[in-house]
Chains A and B, each alone.
Chain A
Amino acid sequence: MPLKTQKRDTAEALTLEWILQTKHYKLALDKNLCVGCQICSLACPKEAIKLEKQPKVQGEKAKKAKVDVDLAKCIFCGICDITCPYGAVKVTLNGDHNLIVVEKESFPELIRDIKIDTRNCPKDCVACVEACPLEQLTISKVTYDGKPVENLDALSPSQRRHVVVNVDIPKDKCPTCRACEYKCPPGVIKMRKTFEGKIAIDQAKCPEGCQDCVDVCPITGTLTVADGKVQVNESTCVYCGACKVVCPVDEALMVKRTKVLHTPVHSGTWNKTLERITSPVDTVKELKAISGKKARDMVSKRFVSEEVIK
């Protein structure tokens, strides 16, 4: 049987499928979550993902780039799924989201280092919800006996004191921009950025009145316009590169990723992916760090065993 393959492209989603007798591979791209950044196209080991810049209509906001996956090249490995900062891609086998590349330790998972300690949460604060640019963060409140709270004001002061606040951040969809952390008054939320890097705008090279990057940036507040010039607020930037994709001038905007937070799995594929997402120099840095760590491990193991002998 020649392989039964399917590709469907709707306004909501792009789906690719391999349908075999007993196995069903599926790649689904949620277009509402996708921001048109560079990461998946850089990460794909088969170069199956292409970004298509959308033509700009005069007087309208710039549109985010469209992601297209080549059915002939895609091998459903799920690396785009793993690396997508926004959790827009899902690769499944028979509906199961466990990826073989992760299971066989051929590719690490990204770490979204988010710590939430809601003990200090003011009971009526919604600053983090308002801060989340992707509207992913939700707060739920329950009474001490576990009943959901509908209206805080209806509770007695003692009940209010015992209300438990839960801050829910969907880990797979959070790009760790830290906007909520900055807005959170008592420091309930602590996160590390998954991608570290640099962003800079050479305002001199920006075309007059162009604010395409601002239009497509999914993290509101990272890029702003002041006096007709684009300003960068690097503290919330996730270095996804959506702005770089639409920037009409080559040297006006620079986005660089230097480090990716990931589980301690190393493979040829990861090294190559890392090289493409960051740079060869940064990859070498990571590899050196591993070898240093390996050496430390070896030494410590020896000490342990010598201690055991003693």
Chain B
Amino acid sequence: MSQPQTPTPNAQPPKEDLRVGVFVCHCGLNIAGTVDIKQVTEYAKTIPDVVFVKENRYTCADPGQEEIRKAIKEQKLNRVVIAACSPRMHEPTFRRTVSEAGLNPFLYEMANIREFASWCHPNTPQEATERAKDAVRMAVAKARLMMPLQTIEVPVTNKALVIGGGIAGMNAALDLAEMGFKVYLLENTQSIGGHMAALDKTFPTLDCSICIEGPKMVDCGRHPNIQIFAYSDLVKVDGYIGNFKVKIRKNPRYVIPERCTGCGECRDVCPIEYPNDWDMNLGTRKAISVPFDQAVPLIYAIDKNYCIECFKCTDVCGARQAIDFEQKAEEVDIEVGAIIVSTGFDVYLPYDMPLLGYGKYPNVITSMEFERLILAAGPTGGKVIRQSDGKKPHSVAFIQCVGSRDKNKYPYCSNYCCMYTLKHVVQLKEKYKEDVEVYVFYMDMRTPGKGYEEFYDRARERGANFIRGRVSRIDEDPKTHNLILHSEDANLGQPIEVEAEMVVLATASIPKKGSDEIARILNLSRGADGFFMESHPKLEPMDAPTDGVFYAGACQGLKDIPFSVSQGSGAASRAATVISKPKWKIEPIISIVDETKCRNKTAKCGVCQDKCPYGAIRIEPNKAAQIITASCHGCGTCVAECPQHAITQMHFTDAQIMAQIRSALEDKPEEKILAILCNWCSYAGADLAGTSRFEYPPSVRAIRVMCSGRVDREFILEALRLGAGMVLIGACHLPYDCHYINGNYKMKARTDALKGMLTKLGMSPERFRVEYVSAAEGIHYAEVIKEIDADMKALGKEKIQAETAKLKPVLDNMLKRWKK
């Protein structure tokens, strides 16, 4: 891969007079409502090198941006600091603004005074203002040392991979294929179609599920631009946006796809039946079979766990010779420019809720099983019958929110259970009319969708009994196998008992089994609920934090069919924004090696190569380490690990971060918490604390790094030398949350040793803390800061100052080398 131009490590900031411009944003009242903007602007004017200060109502709006452009030109600014919202929000916007005015976009820095000041300290405006001032000072300190950088361009493979062939994935694949891109559709089961293929009818129109999905499946199978890898697993993904190298393992079907005509003669002669998990194990399939008749691709497969190798199928297949018992798993390498993840969800089976009797009483089933029972093509031919006696039930009770909205299980709402239960009610009532009594036990009936409330009315008109209450226990009559439900009628405020011949549990939908594996392979993060985290919950609901990866469907959050379809199409168009371009620009926030300092030239070193999570560093004997620019993801772990300080991370240099630390601790350091937060989890979590208005003590001063792996030992030592009250490192959760694979582990190894040493030297152990905060844990971040602040107050200024005095000579000595 060609090495794009990057500045050399020795490049010093241009020798010119610094002319820093500071722009302070009101953000309407979002900032100005708490932070005293006047004070901040007046203060900014006093900072050395600041030649221009301006406040705006909305800096991100057109007039605000225009003022920046104007000021850069008129005032000949060569550094820009914008004090506004989180850089995770508007950094790209202002980079564009700055470059439009002719200034290098990497010569601007943001001071976060909204999420990190006004929003999280609403009741302490003066402290919030102090924090904002400090943030501006720290940003200016960093800005002084910034260097112009050139964006790196890489070529783009204009193909896409869709992982998961459910309704969302199929739509994404079809849309991309229609736009003219080659699409690989990866599915780990034997057929595409997903959960929708197993459903009977779809709400609220009651049209047959497979009748509307079947044609889409066939389209996917026949489209010249779509290649389906069914019954295949994702093994490995290397590379980066525009240039992913994907390894796929095709599991052996023991049937040669090209030769199988899908006639099914082998299935007819096969003597072995086994429970069909696609059918929720209600029915059976043969040892050589397809999971369902409409399967795409229509290729039979042998399950060797059940096959007794009688070879009757081989005999009947005859001259077609499609069956190959010796088939092995095959690995395929493909190259794509973008990846769409649409891995879907699983259905929770409430075995661990013994009071409901699932798995114990034969007539307690889940909604998905009910779906298979009422389906005409299902194992019972569309007859709703009880397992205990094979008879039609005369009363059916539906229980909502089994596992969902339950703090002990899955706290979230599963989104579509109310609707499918209403559908089951209507179906039952229309099928058996007055012959069946229906009860629905619910907490709230949630019907927000087009035509959904009307559908609720339709169910009520059919004469179902809706009982508001949570079922606490189900007992079985051992003779009749009827079920007695104990519940409370919340409307009457009385306990009630209902006897039903069948109970249907609307169980929670849960993250797909194997999501953790996909997350690990693709470097995705997952929320507290286990679903994939999007880059921004509102503005980038389809974008993964890894560039070039997009989400579609229920893997990102539970959604019904129309929403999954729209998100599939949305993800397709997002992916097209990448793969339709011949080149993709990569941020130049990468590492570079100072060849003069690298120890590997004289001795065998290679520490950086060992620690690089991406294998982006090449070590050859007696030569300086070499960084493969396009493979470098810019975590900075190597920078912190290098024993010679020979590696520099552009835009996050040691000097810049040190300047920020010193600036943060200029005034009353013993009353401050210095927090170094990783961009993807902790900084985002802290942002969320602000966005969610979780209030925490304003003593914290935060510095952003891309990865906690970047945190050098010296940063901590310097902070303590300057007398910081508390030091906090914020990282992604172990083991898999790190955006850079395992930077958090490397930080942990480094800091564990350091903490031991510092404690021995006489530092109170609570003064240095490592916390793991995910992007979803705003509340956790607030709690952590509260705890640390309380600890700091408990220690007291005097103790901290005394410790600093004691530590200072040792730390001075340790930092001497660095200062050279």
Contacts and interface: CB of A to CB of B under 8 A. Distances in A.
Among A2, A22, A75, A100, find the residue whose CB has the most chain B CB atoms closer than 10 A.
A22
Contacts of B319: none
A269 B306 CA distance: 12
Interface stretch (B281-289, B522-530, B579-587, B707-715): B281-289
B365 interface: yes
B280 A106 contact: no
Nearest to B387: A21
B272 interface: yes
Given A1-B365, A21-B385, A107 B271 contact: yes
Interface in B94-113: none
B30 interface: no
A147 interface: no
Given A21-B282, A101-B310, A267-B310, A75 B272 contact: yes
B312 A105 contact: yes
Interface string B717-740: 000000000000000000000000
A45 B308 contact: yes
A283 to B, nearest CB: 14
Interface string A1-15: 111100000000000
A125 interface: no
Contacts of A106: 271, 308, 310, 312
A269 B315 CA distance: 13
B359 interface: yes
A269 B309 contact: yes
Nearest to B365: A1
B563 interface: no
B365 A270 contact: no
A22 B380 contact: yes
A270 B310 contact: yes
The dominant DSSP class at the A interface is loop
Contact of B306 (A1, A75, A100): A75
B273 A100 contact: yes
Contacts of A45: 308-309
A20 B351 CA distance: 17
B271 A22 contact: no
Contacts of A269: 308-310
Contacts of A299: none
A95 interface: no
Among B284, B385, B390, find the residue whose CB has the most chain A CB atoms closer than 10 A.
B284
A205 interface: no
A31 interface: no
B264 interface: no
A29 interface: no
Contacts of A267: 310-312
Nearest to B270: A104
Contacts of B204: none
A104 B310 CA distance: 10
B366 interface: yes
A104 B309 contact: no
A21 B309 CA distance: 27
Contacts of B308: 45-46, 75, 77, 79, 101, 106, 269
A268 interface: yes
Contacts of B310: 101, 106-107, 267-270
Given A22-B390, A267-B311, A2 B281 contact: yes
A18 B272 CA distance: 14
Contacts of A18: 275
Contact of B274 (A1, A19, A75, A79): A75
Contacts of B282: 1, 20-22
Contacts of B305: 75
A310 interface: no
B390 A100 contact: no
A273 to B, nearest CB: 9
Contact of B349 (A2, A21, A101, A107): A2
Given A1-B366, A45-B308, A268-B311, A77 B280 contact: no
A150 interface: no
A22 B272 contact: no
A272 interface: yes
A100 B283 contact: no
Contact of B281 (A1, A103, A107): A1
A20 B359 contact: no
A6 B349 CA distance: 18
A304 to B, nearest CB: 25
B325 to A, nearest CB: 9
Given A107-B310, A269-B308, A21 B380 contact: yes
A270 B312 CA distance: 12
Interface in A260-310: 267-270, 272
B278 to A, nearest CB: 12
B318 to A, nearest CB: 16
A18 B275 CA distance: 9
Interface string B315-349: 00000000000000000000000000000000001
B281 A3 contact: yes
Nearest to A272: B309
A89 to B, nearest CB: 16
B413 interface: no
B269 interface: yes
A139 B537 CA distance: 84
B66 interface: no
A77 B283 CA distance: 17
13 contacts: A1-B349, A4-B359, A19-B362, A23-B273, A45-B309, A75-B272, A100-B273, A101-B271, A101-B272, A101-B308, A106-B310, A107-B271, A267-B311
Given A1-B349, A45-B309, 12 more contacts: A3-B281, A20-B284, A20-B379, A21-B380, A22-B283, A23-B284, A46-B308, A75-B272, A105-B312, A106-B310, A268-B310, A270-B310
9 shortest A-B CB distances, which residue pairs?
A: A106-B310, A267-B310, A268-B311, A104-B271, A106-B271, A269-B310, A45-B308, A21-B282, A101-B271
